[in-house]
Structure 1
Amino acid sequence: MGPIAKSETQGGVQSVTRALDLMRALAREEEGRRVSDLAKETGLAVSTAHRLLTTLELSGFAQFDSATMLWHVGREAFAVGATFGRRRNFVAPALPFLRRLRDATRETANLGILEGDRLVTVSQVESREIMRAISPPGGTAPVFCSGMGKAIVSTWEEAQIRALIGRVGLPRITARSLATPEAVLADLAACRQRGYAVDNEEHITGLRCVASVVWSAQAEPVCAISISGLAARLPEQDLDQIGQLVRQAAHQLTQALGGTAPEAVV
C-alpha cells in the first residue's frame, strides 16, 4: 500500500469537519431539520450535505424521517455523548438533586463543569413551564457570564481569576455583562460571601441563573448546580431565597459524593 497523498488526507479531514458541523446543526433543533436548511447553515452545497448525512445515517449518527422529510440526531450520537457524562462520576448522583430543585423552584435545574475555559452544561432537568430557559447539555457559555461558571471560579485565588480573564477576555454579550476585572472580582467576592452566584441577564437578556459550587472528596470545586429561568419569574427580590435552595442542593450533592468544602468557604 503506497503513501497517502496530501490532498487525499486534507479531503478526509475536511469531510470529517463538515460532518461534525452538520451534527452540531442537527443538535440545535430537536424537531428536526431539512437538508436545505442544514446546507445553508453550514455553508455546504445541498448535494454535499445530503451525501454526508446519508453517511452519518449508515453509522447511526443521523436519522431521516421520510414522513416529514426531516433529519434528526441518531442514536449513536447519544451513545457516544453519554460517555462524556459517565466518565464524570457526579452526573448520575446529581439527578435526584436536580429533580428536587426543579420541583422546588419550578425552573430548569442544571449541572455544569469548566472545560477548556468555558462553562459546559453536562446534565439538566427541564422546567415544566411552557416558557422555560434551556441551554441544552453540551451547550457552553463564557465563564464570567454564567452563574455556574462564576460559582466555580469564585473558589479560585485572585491570580488564577485574573489569568483566566487574560485568556478569555470579558466579552460584552449583554448590557449587564461584567466588563472589567474589578467588576468580576467584586461579583465573585459577593458570591463567596452569600454562597451562590447570579447570572443577572448577563448571558441572555431576560434570563437569570442562580448557581452554587459542588465540592469533591479532595475539597476541589468539581462542578456547579444551578436553576435558570425567565427574569420575570425570578425577580431580584426573590433571588436570595432561591439562592439558598440552590446552595442547599449543592451542599447535599457534595455530601452524597463524599465531598467536603475547605474550611474557609463552608
Structure 2
Amino acid sequence: MPDRTQQEHTESDAEQKGVKGAALLMKACDILDLVGTKPGQLTARDLVEATGLAKSTVYRIVAALSERGFVRAGQNDQKLLLGFHFLDLAQSIGTEMDLATIAADELRRLREMTGETAYLAALMGNEMVSLAKSVGAHENSSTAALGGTKPVYATSQGKAILAFLPERRVDHILNSLTFRPVTDYTITDRNTLQLSLNIIRQRGFAIDDQENIVGTRCIGVPILDAGGQPVAAISVAGPAYRMTLERIEQLAPELIDAGRRLGHLVKEYKAKSDNRSEWRITPLGEAAFQGAKPFWDEHNDCVYWIDRLAPAIYAMLDDDLPKLLAQMPGPISEALPARGGGIYVVCEGEWHHASLQEGCRRIDRPRIRDFRALCTRPGGSTWATLVEDGGSKIGSLSARGEFQPEWTVAREIDESVWSRDGERLYALSRNDGLIYEMRRGRDAALVLSRIPRGSGEPCALTVDDADRLWVALKDGWGVARLNENGEIEQVLALPVPYPSGLVFGGKNRATLYVTSARLGVGREMLEHAPLSGRLLKIEIGISEALSSVNRAV
C-alpha cells in the first residue's frame, strides 16, 4: 500500500496540474462500485482499506456523494448503502420508452415457462447493454449483471437486432468492430456473421451457442417497432446441458410470440407518446365563474357552453373567437344540445333555446325543477335523472314533461352521457366517485368504474369518436380516458385544477373542448393556475391516435 503522506502529496500535485476532476471522478466511481456490490457491509474506514486511498480523500468523496444522494448510512450504524437518488436516475435508463417496465410481464412469463433466466437488452453503439432480467428457478441459472455490456456479435440478442436493422446501419456497426474471441466459439469473421444474420432473418430468432460464456446457450428474438425496426431484444439463457439445441428449437415459437407481443406494446406506448406530444392547449375567452356543459353543434360546426353563475351562454365557431349569446336572469341549472342545432338551457326552471343564428328565446316546455343530469340520446330524445331518497331513477323525458324511468341506482347521479351508438348510457355519482353503465335491454345498472380519490373527483363525462369514455377530474388537474373495463387508460394533464365539462368536436371530432371553473379556486392556487375559468381547446388528433392504437393491439 502506498505511503499516505506521499499519496496525498501526489494527489495535491495532480490537482494543481488540472486533473483533479477526472482523478476524483474515477475514485468516486470505485467507491460507488464497492458500496453497490457490498451494500450495508462497508464503512468509510473499510473503503480506505479497500481502495488504498488517503483517509481524507475517501471521507471527502463519501461526504460529497452523500450530499448528492448517491450514498447513505444504514439506520443502525455507519455502514454505507447506495442512495435513493439512484432510483430517480434509474427511471431514465433504457431507450426513449421504459422498456424494462413494458417487458416485465413477458420476462416473468418466459422465466416461469422455461425455468431459465429471461433477459431484455438494447443496442448501445456496437455493444449490447442489459436492461432487465427475470432470474430462473435453478440454483445455477444465468445471472448476468444489469447494465453490463457485451459485444453485439457474441450474443443472441445482438445478432437478433443486427439481423433486422437496415443494411447501411449494420455496415456502419460492423465497420466499427474489432472482432475478438470472447470464447473459442465466438464468431470472429465478418462474412460468417453476415451469413448467420441472413439465417436469423429467415428464422426469426438467433442462438448464442457458448459464444459469450462457455457452457451457456441462449436464444434471442428482436422487439420490432411500428416501422419494423428493432428497439431491443429478449432472450432466455441457461446451461448448455439444459438448453440443448433441440430445446432451443422448441422454445423458438414461444419467444417469437413474446417478441411480437412486446412489439405491439411498444407500438401502443409510442402511439400514446406521440399523441401526448401533439397535444396543444389553447385557452380561449374570458374566465368564467363556473364554466360547464360544452356541446358540439354538428349542424353549424360550433361549440356551445355556459357559465352557470354569470349566468351566460357562449358559442364559438372555428375562428376561436367566443361570442356571448345571452345573459340569463338567474343561475343555469341544466343545458343540453338542441335537436336542430343550438343549445337548450334551463334557467330558474324555465326552458330557453339559444343559437348563433337566432340568439336566445324562451320556449314553451313544462317547467323543470326536480330533474338533473339531462342528456340527449343520439336521435334526439332527452334523458334525465330524478333523485329520490338518496337514490336515482334514470329515464326518458318527453317534451310534455312525461318521465319514463328505465333504470334505478342507489346513488345520487350528477352527470350522464350516451355512447355515440346510442346503446349505453353512462351515469356519474360525483361524491362516490362511481361511474355506472346502463345498456339498452338490460334492467340492471352496473358499476363500470370507481375513480380513486387520489385521481381527483370525477365531475363530467363525454365520449370520443371511437366511443371511449372520458372523465373530467376536479382537483386532479386533468381529464382521463377509461378503457372498456373502466380503468384509467390515459390522463391528459391540464393547467387548471377544476375542469368542469368536456366534449369532442371539430374536424373528425379530434378537438377536445374543456370548460373550467374559477369559483372555489383559492388565491394561492390561482397563482399557479391563472387559466382557471377559461375554455381550453386541445388538439389531440384522437381519431388518428386511437385507430393506430387499435391496429397495434
Any residues of structure 2 matched to 1:1-266 within 5 Å, and which?
7=16, 10-28=19-37, 44-45=52-53, 47=55, 48-65=57-74, 71-85=80-94, 87-258=96-267
Letter in structure 1 aligned against 2:199: A
User: What CA distance in whole angstroms lies between the structure 1 residues aligned with 2:72 and 2:94?
Assistant: 23
Higher relative contact order (CA 8 A, sep 6+): 1
User: 6-15 or 63-72, which moves further after superposition?
Assistant: 63-72
User: What CA distance in whole angstroms lies between the structure 2 residues aligned with 1:232 and 1:26?
Assistant: 35
Q: Is the 8 A contact 1:109 1:225 kept in 2?
A: yes
User: What CA distance in whole angstroms lies between the structure 2 residues aligned with 1:237 and 1:137?
Assistant: 28
Residues 164 and 33 of structure 1: is their aligned pair in 2 closer, same or farther, counting only changes over 3 Å?
A: farther
User: 5+ residue gaps in structure 2?
Assistant: 1-14, 269-553
Q: For 1:203-225, what per-residue CA distance to the aligned partner results, in whole angstroms no more than 9, with x for missing partners?
A: 11122221100111232111111
User: What CA distance in whole angstroms lies between the structure 2 residues aligned with 1:112 and 1:87?
Assistant: 14
Residues 102 and 52 of structure 1: is their aligned pair in 2 closer, same or farther, counting only changes over 3 Å?
A: same
The percent identity for this pair of structures is 24
- Secondary structure of residue in 2 paired with 1:99: helix
Deviation at 1:249, TM superposition (A): 0.5
Q: Is the 8 A contact 2:165 2:229 kept in 1?
A: no
Q: For 1:151-206, what per-residue CA distance to the aligned partner results, in whole angstroms no more than 9, with x for missing partners?
A: 10111345543432221211111001101111211221221121111111111112
Deviation at 1:18, TM superposition (A): 2.1
Deviation at 1:36, TM superposition (A): 7.9
Larger radius of gyration: 2
User: What CA distance in whole angstroms lies between the structure 2 residues aligned with 1:193 and 1:248?
Assistant: 15
- Secondary structure of residue in 2 paired with 1:122: strand
Residues 146 and 67 of structure 1: is their aligned pair in 2 closer, same or farther, counting only changes over 3 Å?
A: farther
Name 2:389's counterpart in structure 1: none
Q: For 1:126-145, what per-residue CA distance to the aligned partner results, in whole angstroms no more than 9, with x for missing partners?
A: 21222211222211111011
User: What CA distance in whole angstroms lies between the structure 1 residues aligned with 2:150 and 2:49?
Assistant: 25
Residues 64 and 90 of structure 1: is their aligned pair in 2 closer, same or farther, counting only changes over 3 Å?
A: same
Residues 72 and 132 of structure 1: is their aligned pair in 2 closer, same or farther, counting only changes over 3 Å?
A: farther
Q: For 1:24-70, what per-residue CA distance to the aligned partner results, in whole angstroms no more than 9, with x for missing partners?
A: 444455685676886687x6526234542343234331244587975
User: 5+ residue gaps in structure 1?
Assistant: 1-5, 260-266
Q: Is the 8 A contact 1:34 1:71 kept in 2?
A: yes
User: What CA distance in whole angstroms lies between the structure 2 residues aligned with 1:144 and 1:30?
Assistant: 34
User: 235-244 or 195-204, which moves further after superposition?
Assistant: 235-244
User: What CA distance in whole angstroms lies between the structure 2 residues aligned with 1:146 and 1:26?
Assistant: 29
* Higher helix proportion (structure 1 or 2): 1
TM-score, normalised relative to structure 2: 0.42
Residues 31 and 171 of structure 1: is their aligned pair in 2 closer, same or farther, counting only changes over 3 Å?
A: farther
Residues 60 and 170 of structure 1: is their aligned pair in 2 closer, same or farther, counting only changes over 3 Å?
A: same
User: 13-22 or 241-250, which moves further after superposition?
Assistant: 13-22
Letter in structure 1 aligned against 2:232: C
TM-score, normalised relative to structure 1: 0.82
Residues 256 and 50 of structure 1: is their aligned pair in 2 closer, same or farther, counting only changes over 3 Å?
A: same
- Aligned pairs, number: 253
* Higher strand proportion (structure 1 or 2): 2
Letter in structure 2 aligned against 1:230: P
Residues 239 and 34 of structure 1: is their aligned pair in 2 closer, same or farther, counting only changes over 3 Å?
A: farther
Q: Is the 8 A contact 2:220 2:236 kept in 1?
A: yes
Name 2:512's counterpart in structure 1: none
Q: Is the 8 A contact 2:40 2:74 kept in 1?
A: no
Residues 102 and 79 of structure 1: is their aligned pair in 2 closer, same or farther, counting only changes over 3 Å?
A: same
Residues 185 and 93 of structure 1: is their aligned pair in 2 closer, same or farther, counting only changes over 3 Å?
A: same
User: 161-170 or 202-211, which moves further after superposition?
Assistant: 161-170
Name 2:461's counterpart in structure 1: none
Letter in structure 2 aligned against 1:172: P
- Secondary structure of residue in 2 paired with 1:110: strand
